[in-house]
Copies of this chain bind each other. A is one copy, B any other.
Amino acid sequence: MTEHRIALIPGDGIGAEVLPPATAVLDRVGRRHGIRFRYDEFDWSCERYLREGAMMPADGLDRIRHHDAILLGAVGWPGVPDHVSLWGLLIPIRRQFDQYVNLRPIAVLPGVPSPVRAAEPGLEFVVVRENVEGEYSEVGGRFRRGFPDELAVQEAVFTRPGVTRILDYAFSLAATRRGVLTSATKSNGIVHTMPFWDELVEEAGERHPEVSWHQEHIDALVAKIVLDPARFDVIVGSNLFGDILSDLAAAVAGSIGVAPAANLNPEREFPSMFEPVHGSAPDIAGRGVANPLGAIWSAAMMVDHLGHPEASAEVRSAMADVLGNTAVRTPDLGGTATTESFTRELLDRL
């Protein structure tokens, strides 16, 4: 019996509604594979912020540092500014645990319609996003606040080690798949950091001769993802570009509500974090109709990361089974199932 200690952070809104389905799936698949998951739950959230003035306790990170993985629901709630909630919980976890890979697979799932004509069932690719540096930095500030000549500056910081490791991750991943990689750039417009990124891609390409790579400017790339999504397999991008590309790709696949994300520390010095891409969805929170697939797919990625690829694959095929062979789905996918009835249907197929 393998045992894994999982830190659960339901967070806000539907975050709390989609984690129980995910743990139910984990328990079920764990039983079949001799894996035991032990959960510790943390109430870190906007509610906690409003009550106690902080999204998490001062020693929050220490409390989850020795868990094997973190499963997060959603962060954010009306009334708490985004930068407070996110920079108070989500982003510190990504950074302090050096989760420098944000892995975001997308797929056109059976029975889930895509808004894009060229996105056919079976289409799938993955966005590898740099997750701890780049355009998201705290360097910069405001000058002459409130005066007519006020200005704000934001420094994007790209380091050789930081870019190299995300590229090596992406190239290695591409080598295990179709052997093709697309690098998102903007070196024709952004003068300092993007030409540097391109040079490091060139160097990484030399280290990975088995992968054929090319680069695309981000503006052309978003257009091509809409026009011809099937040409992509692994796309690597900076923190900001990866963020934009992964939401776009999920929308193109019709899977914005079911898309998962893994925030990985590949060296396993720190726990990795798994979270659905969707947010806390205040409009439907509390009604029991949230789609649990984003959380369940994220949990499947966690199972894979913890060393159980077969168990992970079983979860993903149960997902495809329900969507492809039944009409059971939550309202966001055009059905009438509740979170609970959908989950029951899925568990039956595991």
Q: Point out residues on A near B: beta carbons under 8 Å.
A: 76, 82-83, 86-87, 115-118, 135-142, 147-161, 186-196, 218-220, 222-224, 226-227, 239-240, 243-244, 246-248, 250-252, 256
14 new A-B contacts at CB < 8 Å, known A135-B189, A190-B240, A226-B251: A76-B188, A82-B188, A83-B187, A83-B195, A115-B117, A115-B118, A140-B191, A141-B192, A151-B160, A152-B192, A153-B192, A156-B156, A223-B251, A223-B256
Are the CB atoms of A191 and B222 closer together than 8 Å?
no
Given contacts A187-B82, A190-B240, contact A160 B154 (CB under 8 A): no
Are the CB atoms of B248 and A222 closer together than 8 Å?
yes
Copies of this chain, complex-wide, total 2
Residues of B within 8 A of A83 (CB): 187-188, 191, 195
Contact of A193 among B117, B140, B158, B227 (CB under 8 A): B140
Which 3 pairs of residues, A with B, have the shortest CB-CB distance? A82-B188, A223-B251, A152-B196
A155 to chain B, nearest CB (A): 5
8 cross-chain CB contacts under 8 A = A140-B155, A140-B193, A149-B160, A152-B157, A152-B196, A186-B240, A219-B244, A222-B247
Complex CA gap A223/B136 in Å reads 20
Complex CA gap A137/B248 in Å reads 26
For A140, give the chain B residue with the smallest CB separation.
Answer: B192
A146 to chain B, nearest CB (A): 9
Residues of B within 8 A of A194 (CB): 154
